[in-house]
Structure 1
């Protein structure tokens, strides 16, 4: 062998030796980092684990691609739309399109008819056109909170129809067609039933009455019409007082729309029970006690509520003339424009200007009783000879005539003689007599029996365990009526 060949062989053996040493070192290093299970002989448990992992890996390799294919599958192509131009509707056809259709509004407290038309976007000129239609002004100018009014407004924004309830049984639709207003009256069936509601006051009368089933209007009838002359509801009512009411409920299309008609009521406070029964005398309804005496007094002492007494009845120095003169009435100081009410049912004897009284109204109450109201800034909606009810606004406070400031001069006369309005004995109201009294007793007996039956049922165990707030309702046989 030549010398170069021998050197090449030695170099090759050297490299082979290096590879062996490298592999040995790598094997030792790897063995140090591997778990003990791989550095020793495998047991049966190791082989079972390895088989299990291999099986799971095979299943994953089979299933995952399927999911991948499902996810990557392309979605079906979406449908495309194309806007096509349409010819515009003629004006005549547009007027027939309902557009916003019926816009229904409910009257809120303090809202007027003009407010509702403004909310609906209808001009005031259209409102006056509607009010000029016969029979409409009376229904639309006496709106109560909760009353529903609907406006039919097509897309052109012009009012086409207005809808409102003339009364509980009739709905009116007024269609505006050109210069004409066409009326359509729809009859609505109502059902009336008589119920008895009773309650005991714990927190407040209002809360207890609501829980007993009385509506706010029924509560006002009880406090402001029936018992206001006998009970001061701001001072006299105490926890534990009781009340019972027999009333007519009016239902329409499943909705209770009226409970203000109270037929009979009792109120127990301060160890005394007050009663009130509704009865028609002549052409108006009044409330009477159990013996047929009217609950409404003939006169109210103050024609202005919450006014300040600024001058009393009797001799005094006149504030303008400076001389001692008899002051034949009393003065109530109040701001200009404060409403003045009729002290009792009467006929307007005089309404005009009279010497130092300025604008003055004199009312004739019959049986020799008259009242005078002076220094008014303006008159109410009254005229000489007209009949007015107690509480009717006959004028407004002012300072016309001989007056140093706005006030009401009020006089009370009996057969032409002046009496002190603050101390005069007011005449009692006329009680029921004869046939009217007999009819009243026949009418009130069933109502009183219902109240007593309800109270016996509710308060039988009151002495043992008084309820915190007791309320119940009993329904009498229902009667149907229309309108």
Structure 2
């Protein structure tokens, strides 16, 4: 029995030794994985860090739950409404919505009146009602780019008022109420001052004229009305050519609204000086040279600008009949529908259909001169006996009568005799005489003096020094009110 107890004690000591060895090995493995602070005896610094981490953890545990609860708690669902009394709406305004309901549209190039009404959301039926109002159609169907139209459109969408400028001095408001249209005209004060502008061409006429202060409309007046008969602006101009103009500027509410009225102009090109002065004769304004002769020629040689000459004046084999016969005019080939212009001021002698000419117009220009325009696809609005100004459209190119294709047959007659329109000497326009010439000279002398004074001030040293790239100037006369 003593031997058995001795064996049990020996087994117990062996098991205890194994447990110690196991704990020692485990301690070594943990020591290899734990930071050095846990493997060594803690210093004062270690205890301070540990205390700080414990404090931060306690504060976080206290604050975060409270913050979360404050977010989760919804706002009180109960609220109260307080009714405030408002003044009653006037009966006249109950059916409308007053306020800033104006839409202002500016006419763009190529836009029509119907385009503007469509852009404003106004039906075409309303536009036609407006055009039926006396004096409205003449203004609204001739809108220029930049013109403003204002539409008063409340939220119900129906047009209440249309506003536009009848001219530089008058604004029109058309109020639409049921089936009635009432008109209100407001006079707008304008002022006019006369200015002188001068320039020298360096690169292009347009650029130089703009630098001199001329508007696009003033440039068009100078090139298309005053000097178009004497100067080919596409070929004749050279750097160093000069121009000067005396023009009226119209101002309204601090804005320059018009500069197209040129009173006098000079143009120096090719060693020659051309002049033009605005003068009223017989109730009509035209431009004259310094000697009182009209700048507008009695006739234009081509009734269709930029057309191709397809058949000359003289004997030829007729393209339809096949026989040799005299071709008493010239033919200009052009597309069907191309407008045909009157060669000069005239009275319509005949407008209709005539044998091989098809649709034809014959104009009587006086002093024995007549012109004929044949093979038209359709006639213009002028009828027999009507007065026609030079350049007016009298018909459209076609191929009626004896014609193989669309073209204009154009004849020029002097006392009934056919002449070649391309080589005939055109009659000079009638100059001013007597009292008209005296009035013309009295009117144009001050304008010419101002031009000469301006040019002397700008180009005084032009002969002794090379001119600067831009030689422009303008001088304004005192502002004056003109009706």
* TM-score, scaled relative to structure 2: 0.81
* CA shift digits 1:163-222 (9 cap, x unpaired): 111111111111111111101100011101100000111121101101111000000000
Q: For 1:81 and 1:131, how far apart are their aligned partners in 2?
A: 56
> Shift in Å at residue 307 of structure 1?
0.6
- Written as runs of structure 1 = structure 2, the 5 A alignment for 1:101-112 is 101-112=101-112
Match of 1:369 in 2: 369
Match of 1:212 in 2: 212
* CA shift digits 1:135-159 (9 cap, x unpaired): 0010111111111111111111111
> Shift in Å at residue 84 of structure 1?
8.2
Where structure 2 has 5 or more consecutive residues not aligned to the other structure, the ranges are: 1-38, 46-66
Q: For 2:89 and 2:479, how far apart are their aligned partners in 1?
A: 53
Number of residue pairs matched?
418
> Shift in Å at residue 85 of structure 1?
12
Kept in 2, the 8 Å contact 1:375–1:409? The answer is: yes
Q: For 1:214 and 1:304, how far apart are their aligned partners in 2?
A: 30
* CA shift digits 1:406-441 (9 cap, x unpaired): 110101011111111011110000011111111111
Distance 1:253 1:418, change over 3 A: same
Q: For 2:204 and 2:433, how far apart are their aligned partners in 1?
A: 38
Match of 1:235 in 2: 235
Kept in 2, the 8 Å contact 1:98–1:153? The answer is: no
Q: For 2:429 and 2:361, how far apart are their aligned partners in 1?
A: 23
Distance 1:86 1:144, change over 3 A: farther
Match of 1:476 in 2: 477
Q: For 2:352 and 2:95, how far apart are their aligned partners in 1?
A: 54
Q: For 2:327 and 2:94, how far apart are their aligned partners in 1?
A: 73
* CA shift digits 1:79-112 (9 cap, x unpaired): x997989999999745431366111111111111
Distance 1:314 1:92, change over 3 A: same
Kept in 2, the 8 Å contact 1:359–1:400? The answer is: yes
* CA shift digits 1:331-389 (9 cap, x unpaired): 10100000000000111111111111111111111101010111111122212211111
Q: For 1:115 and 1:83, how far apart are their aligned partners in 2?
A: 49
Match of 2:385 in 1: 385
1:163 aligns with 2:163: yes
Q: For 1:255 and 1:468, how far apart are their aligned partners in 2?
A: 30
Match of 1:428 in 2: 428
Where 1:480 maps in the other structure, the secondary structure is: coil
1:146 aligns with 2:146: yes
Kept in 2, the 8 Å contact 1:170–1:188? The answer is: yes
Match of 2:397 in 1: 397
- Written as runs of structure 1 = structure 2, the 5 A alignment for 1:25-174 is 93=93, 95-98=95-98, 101-174=101-174
Match of 1:357 in 2: 357
Match of 2:270 in 1: 270
Match of 2:248 in 1: 248
Match of 1:285 in 2: 285
Q: For 1:312 and 1:181, how far apart are their aligned partners in 2?
A: 58
Distance 1:92 1:315, change over 3 A: same
**RMSD (Å), alpha carbons:** 2.9
> Shift in Å at residue 303 of structure 1?
0.2
Q: For 1:428 and 1:476, how far apart are their aligned partners in 2?
A: 36
> Shift in Å at residue 238 of structure 1?
1.1
> Shift in Å at residue 240 of structure 1?
1.0
Match of 2:338 in 1: 338
Q: For 1:392 and 1:84, how far apart are their aligned partners in 2?
A: 72
Kept in 2, the 8 Å contact 1:163–1:171? The answer is: yes
Q: For 1:317 and 1:255, how far apart are their aligned partners in 2?
A: 64
Where 1:146 maps in the other structure, the secondary structure is: coil
Match of 1:447 in 2: 447
Distance 1:376 1:95, change over 3 A: farther
Q: For 1:326 and 1:241, how far apart are their aligned partners in 2?
A: 46
Q: Identify which range, 473-482 or 341-350, moves more after superposition.
A: 473-482
Match of 1:12 in 2: none
> Shift in Å at residue 456 of structure 1?
0.7
Q: Identify which range, 355-364 or 445-454, moves more after superposition.
A: 355-364
Where 2:422 maps in the other structure, the secondary structure is: coil
* TM-score, scaled relative to structure 1: 0.81
